[in-house]
């Protein structure tokens, strides 16, 4: 079986991924039109290219249907249960940076930390009779972060649209969302809590532990890691040593 490499199917993430491999002597090419999710890899033998959304790549890696994949750390940490047991983080790639953060209305001048938010949440429930609402797409990471900070009087509201607008639209009192520059947060009159960084994230090359590693796939992995300098960096996992 050939090694299946999943890369983002479109946009800046795909372009940056192609550039990252090109800088290491591996040519990743898209075939056909922008609507055709086909391509090829040259520079290392035995690799089949698969183009998927970043969220699909995380799931396919977890299920072992692809061997390697480029996706965000935030997506893996959020959607793959016990991810270190199922995946190996081979290489942070230096692009696609985004922080998962907790943000509250800018006019909440007395709320600067998670401890302040805990006090505000208790006061909110006492006044309004229901828990303070946090809009997010990242339920697992947000819930765990709030648990570590001892915040309990809140409820998570699922956000499938523009999370930054939830407070302005009165569907939530605060948010947990990813941000790159903070400009959208400021435009929506939100501020990041001083200790509200849940997870710094970037595009990362992940390896699936549960994919069928044998023959051609294992040889292609060793060749790719050697070409990309990952062996020298000590990132090749046990069982895949060169030679």
Same structural domain, 163 and 125: yes
Domain presence at residue 238: no
Same structural domain, 50 and 108: no
Question: For 110-152, how does the pLDDT look when each residue is reduced to its tens digit (9 = 90+)?
Answer: 999 999 999 999 999 999 999 999 999 999 999 999 999 999 9
Domain presence at residue 82: yes
Same structural domain, 85 and 28: yes
What single string gives the DSSP state of each residue in 181-232? SSHHHHHTTEEEEEEEEEEEE-EEEEEESSS---HHHHHHHHHHHHHHTTTT
Q: Residue 136 and residue 113: Cα distance in Å, rounded?
A: 18
Domain CATH for 57: 3.40.190.10
Domain presence at residue 83: yes
Q: Which helix (H) or strand (E) holds 13?
A: helix 11-22
Same structural domain, 78 and 134: no
Same structural domain, 52 and 62: yes
Same structural domain, 129 and 76: no
Residue 93, pLDDT above cutoff 50: yes
Same structural domain, 36 and 91: yes
Same structural domain, 68 and 117: no
Same structural domain, 114 and 78: no
Residue with tokens 């002597």: 25
Domain presence at residue 87: yes
Same structural domain, 118 and 72: no
Same structural domain, 187 and 220: no
Question: For 206-242, how does the pLDDT look when each residue is reduced to its tens digit (9 = 90+)?
Answer: 999 999 998 899 999 999 999 998 876 556 666 665 4
Which of these ranges, 30-39, 66-75, 79-88, 152-161, has the smallest mean pLDDT? 30-39
Section 61-71 average pLDDT: 97
Same structural domain, 213 and 177: no
Taking the model in full, what pTM does it have?
A: 0.90
Do the Cβ atoms of 16 and 203 come closer than 8 Å?
Answer: yes
Top pLDDT among 63 and 10 is at 63
Number of domains the chain contains: 2
Containing structural domain, residue 169 = 98-201
Torsion sign (Cα): 33, 39, 41, 45: negative
Domain presence at residue 135: yes
Domain presence at residue 242: no
Domain presence at residue 86: yes
Domain presence at residue 239: no
């Amino acid at each position: 079986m050939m090694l299946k490499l999943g890369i983002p199917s479109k946009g800046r993430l795909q372009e940056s991924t192609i550039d990252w491999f090109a800088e290491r002597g591996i040519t990743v090419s898209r075939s056909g039109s922008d609507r055709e999710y086909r391509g090829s890899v040259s520079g290392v033998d035995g690799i089949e290219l698969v183009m998927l959304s970043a969220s699909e790549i995380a799931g396919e890696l977890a299920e072992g249907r692809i061997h390697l994949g480029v996706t965000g750390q935030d997506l893996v940490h959020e959607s793959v249960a016990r991810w270190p047991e199922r995946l190996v983080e081979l290489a942070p790639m230096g692009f696609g940076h985004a922080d998962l953060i907790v943000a509250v209305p800018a006019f909440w001048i007395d709320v600067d930390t998670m401890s302040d938010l805990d006090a505000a949440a208790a006061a909110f429930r006492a006044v309004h009779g229901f828990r303070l609402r946090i809009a997010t797409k990242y339920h697992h990471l947000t819930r765990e972060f709030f648990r570590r900070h001892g915040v309990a009087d809140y409820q998570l509201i699922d956000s499938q649209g523009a999370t930054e607008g939830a407070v302005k639209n009165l569907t939530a009192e605060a948010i947990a969302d990813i941000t790159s520059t903070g400009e959208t947060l400021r435009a929506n009159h939100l501020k990041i809590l001083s200790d509200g960084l849940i997870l710094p994230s970037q595009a990362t090359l992940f390896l699936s532990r549960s994919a069928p590693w044998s023959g051609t796939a294992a040889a292609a992995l060793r060749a790719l890691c050697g070409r990309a300098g990952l062996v020298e960096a000590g990132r090749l996992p046990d069982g895949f040593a060169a030679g």
